[in-house]
């Protein structure tokens, strides 16, 4: 029993050192849920709801500034008719910048991104979009954020060209410069 406890303590120590150090290069991996439009307008039930996943390599430029490239896939629901819920798949690639006003273990952040969005089954294939972000980082390991994804286009995608994502992600340090 003592050996099992020692092994568990050693694994905890190793994993906490890997994850707790602020590395210069990190990778965030996570999932998110999109808030349905009924949160803001009670007339629409499931429009703009959905879910997705993302991965984002990040470079910690300084203690307060981080740059990243967010890559995500999202399923966003359209106007529903009856019991059938139809969705569109959205791929996006968004260079982003984040600002951390404090250096504490639990720290808020704000950010923004601009990028390219592809809504499947719609033309044009490539659309330009913006992505303001607000969130909190916990020990540089776990991030919670709210992100407003707005596709700047006159096209009718069926979901009003935006979705609001509640995102959770784990951040893994992969490299520290000398």
Average pLDDT over residues 68-93: 86
Between 12 and 174, whose confidence is greater? Answer: 174
HSE of 91 in the Cβ direction (CA atoms, 13 Å)? 6
pTM above 0.85, yes or no: no
User: ω before 124 within 30° of 0 (cis)?
Assistant: yes
Q: Is the pLDDT of residue 102 over 80?
A: yes
- 149/164 Cα distance (integer angstroms): 6
Please choose, from the candidates 148, 152, 155, 120, the residue with its C-alpha nearest in 3D space to the C-alpha of residue 134: 148
Structure tokens at 81: 């008719």
Q: Is the pLDDT of residue 51 over 70?
A: yes
Structure tokens at 57: 């390599």
The residue length of the chain stands at 178
Q: What is the mean pLDDT of the chain?
A: 85
Structure tokens at 11: 């694994």
- Domain boundaries 2-175, CATH class: mainly beta
Contact between residue 98 and residue 109 where contact means Cβ atoms under 8 Å apart: yes
User: Which residues, 6 or more positions from 35, have their beta carbon under 8 angstroms from its beta carbon?
Assistant: 48, 49, 163, 164, 165, 166
Please choose, from the candidates 92, 67, 60, the residue with its C-alpha nearest in 3D space to the C-alpha of residue 162: 92
Tens of pLDDT, residue by residue over 12-48, are: 555 444 444 456 899 999 999 998 876 666 665 678 8
Percent of the chain having pLDDT more than 90?
A: 53
Domain ranges across the chain? 2-175
Tens of pLDDT, residue by residue over 116-162, are: 999 998 888 899 999 999 999 999 899 999 999 999 987 777 777 88
Q: Is the pLDDT of residue 176 over 50?
A: yes
pLDDT attached to residue 160: 78
**C-alpha dist (Å) from residue 150 to 63, 129, 131:** 29, 5, 6
């Amino acid at each position: 029993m003592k050996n099992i406890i020692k092994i568990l303590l050693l694994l905890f120590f190793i994993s906490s050192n890997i994850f707790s150090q602020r590395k210069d290069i990190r990778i965030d991996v996570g999932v998110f849920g999109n808030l349905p439009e009924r949160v803001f307008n009670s007339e629409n039930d499931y429009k703009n709801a959905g879910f997705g996943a993302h991965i984002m390599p990040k470079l910690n430029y300084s203690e307060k500034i981080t740059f990243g490239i967010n890559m995500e896939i999202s399923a966003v629901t359209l106007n529903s008719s009856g019991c059938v819920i139809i969705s569109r798949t959205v791929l996006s690639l968004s260079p982003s910048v984040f600002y951390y006003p404090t250096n504490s273990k639990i720290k808020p952040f704000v950010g923004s991104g601009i990028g390219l969005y592809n809504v499947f089954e719609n033309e044009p294939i490539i659309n330009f979009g913006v992505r303001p972000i607000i969130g909190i980082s916990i020990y540089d390991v776990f991030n919670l954020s709210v992100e407003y994804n707005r596709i700047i286009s006159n096209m009718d995608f069926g979901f009003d060209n935006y979705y609001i994502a509640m995102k959770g992600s784990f951040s893994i340090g992969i490299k520290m410069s000398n």
